[in-house]
Amino acid sequence: MPLKIAARVFDFLKCAPILDLRSPGEYACGHIPGAINFPLFSDAERALVGTLYKQEGSEAAIQLGLKLFGPKMAEVAAEASQLAKEGSIALYCWRGGMRSASIAWLLSFVGLQVTQLKGGYKSYRHFVHKEIAKQRDYLLFGGPTGSGKSEMLRRFGGDGGQVLDLEALAFHRGSAFGAIGQPPQPTQEHFENQIGSILSRFNGQSIIVEDESRLIGRCKIPDALYTQMQVAPLIVVESTREERLSRLMSEYGSFPKEALEAATRRLEKRLGRERCAVALRHLERGELKEMADLLLDYYDKAYAHASKRRSAPKFILRRDHESIR
């Protein structure tokens, strides 16, 4: 079967399935969203080949690579054939070099239609940076803690709106309590990959995104995107304090006491020792609403301080409890 070389990353992303031929360590650092790790070498084998390349040159490294890969050829071909969709499969390595070329030749030889990404993962990373840097029409949703911004974003997305949910991509709700109940956060590289992948699918209509600080847990919003967010129109979602407390109780009230305590202690310097101690006493007594009420004072002051620095147009959206059901 013929081998296709995708001229553009955008065309390659339409393929399925996509195999990432890099080592597990490279894949874990960042990959094309949805790609399946299909390593030609293990992390240890890749290190050996790389070391030999530096010490003795490409010929010696190629010979070692062939020695390591040779016994795996039949197994690799069989596994890829099982993964192929209607006889087609796509693949990439770091630069679109020997790893891609060798697997592409093998899979073509056994009858698969193979598409190889020109420039490999390196070209995909350039694509991601360009997508994030593009000037787009953003519309931000902001508001005090507990006002239901994330919930509104999910609703807009479910209704077909163009939503970039950064907290969902970062596996973090953006506060000291944001990691509770979440999977481990992605690497910065893969966080960017997910952002770029989603943006590349959007048309010219407005993109709705939640107003965030620069850091969401350990994930940093890319500078090119954050700069655009800071000048985008902002819709401020307002709810009554009672509604906000009810929402926070529903969202965090079922989490283990130990996790809530650890998160509260991380705020001690900002809360002050005395207020932190009071919050922890409420937690110990099971007075979660009183604890949340105390913490809202801190979060509201932080939000008001951050809001003063924004110069973009602001619009107020007031909602009642019934409107979110």
DSSP 35-81: PEE--SS-HHHHHHHHHHHHHH-HHHHHHHHHHHHGGGHHHHHHHHH
- pLDDT computed for residue 321 by the predictor: 43
Q: Which of 98, 128, 158 finishes a domain?
A: 128
Do 102 and 183 lie in one domain? The reply is no
Domain count, the chain: 2
In this predicted structure, the answer to whether residue 1 has a pLDDT above a threshold of 80 is no
- pLDDT computed for residue 3 by the predictor: 61
Q: Please write the tens of the pLDDT for every residue from 193-223.
A: 999 999 999 998 999 999 999 999 999 999 9
In this predicted structure, the answer to whether residue 285 has a pLDDT above a threshold of 90 is yes
Tokens linked to 310: 């924004």
Question: For residue 40, what are the domain limits?
Answer: 3-128
- CATH label of the domain that carries residue 207: 3.40.50
Give Cβ neighbours of residue 57 (< 8 Å, ≥ 6 apart). Answer: none
- CATH label of the domain that carries residue 116: 3.40.250.10
- pLDDT computed for residue 30 by the predictor: 98
Do 42 and 170 lie in one domain? The reply is no
- pLDDT computed for residue 71 by the predictor: 65
- The answer to whether the CB of 311 falls within 8 A of the CB of 231 is yes
Question: How far from 201 is each of 61, 161, 196, 216, CA to CA, in Å?
Answer: 40, 12, 9, 23
In this predicted structure, the answer to whether residue 7 has a pLDDT above a threshold of 60 is no
- The answer to whether the CB of 164 falls within 8 A of the CB of 199 is yes
Do 74 and 139 lie in one domain? The reply is no
Q: Which of 79, 108, 128 finishes a domain?
A: 128
Which residues are identified as catalytic? 93
Q: Kindly report the length of the chain.
A: 325
- pLDDT computed for residue 214 by the predictor: 94
- The answer to whether the CB of 207 falls within 8 A of the CB of 139 is yes
The residue-averaged pLDDT of 41-59 equals 78
Do 175 and 297 lie in one domain? The reply is yes
Residue that has been written with the tokens 């940076």 in this structure: 129
- pLDDT computed for residue 325 by the predictor: 33
Do 120 and 148 lie in one domain? The reply is no
Do 318 and 261 lie in one domain? The reply is yes
Do 58 and 144 lie in one domain? The reply is no
- Which helix H or strand E contains 10, and what residues bound it? helix 9-12
Q: How far apart are CA 128 and CA 20, in angstroms?
A: 17
Q: Give buried/exposed letters for 139-168 (b at 16+ CB in 10 A, else e).
A: bbbbbbbbbbbbebbeebeeeeebbbbbbb
Q: Please write the tens of the pLDDT for every residue from 36-49.
A: 999 988 888 777 77
Confidence category of residue 5, pLDDT binned at 50, 70, 90 = low
Do 124 and 142 lie in one domain? The reply is no
Do 167 and 59 lie in one domain? The reply is no
Do 41 and 77 lie in one domain? The reply is yes
The residue-averaged pLDDT of 169-187 equals 93
Do 53 and 190 lie in one domain? The reply is no
Query: CA 231: distance to chain centroid?
Result: 23
Q: Using a cut of 0.85, tell me whether the model's pTM lies above it.
A: yes
Do 317 and 232 lie in one domain? The reply is yes
Tokens linked to 245: 């407390």
In this predicted structure, the answer to whether residue 323 has a pLDDT above a threshold of 80 is no
Mean pLDDT of the chain: 88
Q: Which of 104, 128, 152 finishes a domain?
A: 128
Q: Please write the tens of the pLDDT for every residue from 64-96.
A: 766 777 667 888 899 999 999 899 999 999 988
Question: How far from 209 is each of 109, 133, 198, 212, 229, CA to CA, in Å?
Answer: 46, 16, 12, 9, 8
